[in-house]
Amino acid sequence: MPLIKYFRKYLGPEKLAEQTEQEVLINDDPPWFDSDSASRRVTKELKDPWARGKVVELIEQGFTIIESGIALEMCDQAAAEFLNWKKRNEHALSKFREADGRLMRIINFHQTLPVLKTLFSRNRSLALQDYLFKKETALYTSLFYEQGSAQPIHRDIPLFWTYPGFMYFGMWIALEDTDDENGPLEVIPGGHRIGLIDRGAIAAQRFNEPMTIPPMSNELWIDYQDEVARRVVEKRLTKKKIYVKKGDVILWHPLAPHGGASINDPSRTRLSFVLHTTPKGVPVFHMDVFFDPSRQVQKHARWTYSNFEGRAIAETGPMSIGHGIEYDFSTLK
Least confident span in 25-34, 78-87, 103-112, 323-332: 323-332
Sign of the dihedral defined by the CA atoms of residues 313, 141, 120, 221, in that order: negative
Q: Confirm whether 330 is domain-assigned.
A: no
Identify whether 328 is part of a domain: no
Section 52-64 average pLDDT: 98
Degrees (nearest 5) of the Cα angle 204, 1, 285? 45
Tell me the residue ranges of DSSP E strands in 101-168.
Answer: 106-107, 137-145, 161-162
Residue 326 inside a domain? The answer is: no
User: Phi and psi dihedrals of 242, rounded to 5?
Assistant: -110, 110
What's 259's domain CATH number? 2.60.120.620
β-bridge mates for residue 251, sequence order? 64, 171
Residue 237's pLDDT is 98
SS (H, E, C) 167-199: CCEEEEEECCCCCCCCCCEEECCCHHHHCCCCH
Within a domain: 268 = yes
Contacts 24+ apart (CB under 8 A), 91-97: 92/331, 92/332, 93/321, 93/332, 95/325, 95/327, 96/321, 96/322, 96/325, 96/327
Q: Is the pLDDT of residue 76 over 70?
A: yes
Query: What number is the average pLDDT over the span 275-290?
Result: 98
Kindly give, in sequence order, each residue whose CB lies less than 8 Å from that of residue 91, ignoring residues fewer than 6 positions away: none
Average pLDDT over every residue of 25-39:
96
Considering the chain, what is the average pLDDT of its residues? 93
Residue 20, pLDDT score: 57
pLDDT at residue 35 is higher than 90: yes
13-27, 259-273, 284-298: least confidently modelled range: 13-27
pLDDT at 44 over 90: yes
- Which helix or strand (DSSP H or E) is residue 117 part of? helix 115-121
Per-residue pLDDT at 17: 46
- With respect to residue 310, please indicate whether it lies within any of the assigned structural domains: yes
pLDDT, greater one: 10 or 230 = 230
Q: In this predicted structure, what is the pLDDT of residue 14?
A: 44
Q: How far apart are CA 246 and CA 79, in angstroms?
A: 11
Residue 200 lies in a domain: yes
Is the predicted pLDDT of residue 319 greater than 70, yes or no?
yes
Q: Name the band, by pLDDT with cuts 50, 70 and 90, for residue 8.
A: very low
Please check whether residue 209 lies inside any domain of the structure. Answer: yes
Domain residue limits at 267? 19-321
Give the pLDDT band (50/70/90) at residue 16: very low
Given a cut of 80, whether residue 19 has pLDDT beyond it is: no
* Within a domain: 8: no
Look at the chain and report how many structural domains it folds into.
Answer: 1
**What does the pLDDT average to over 189-212?**
96
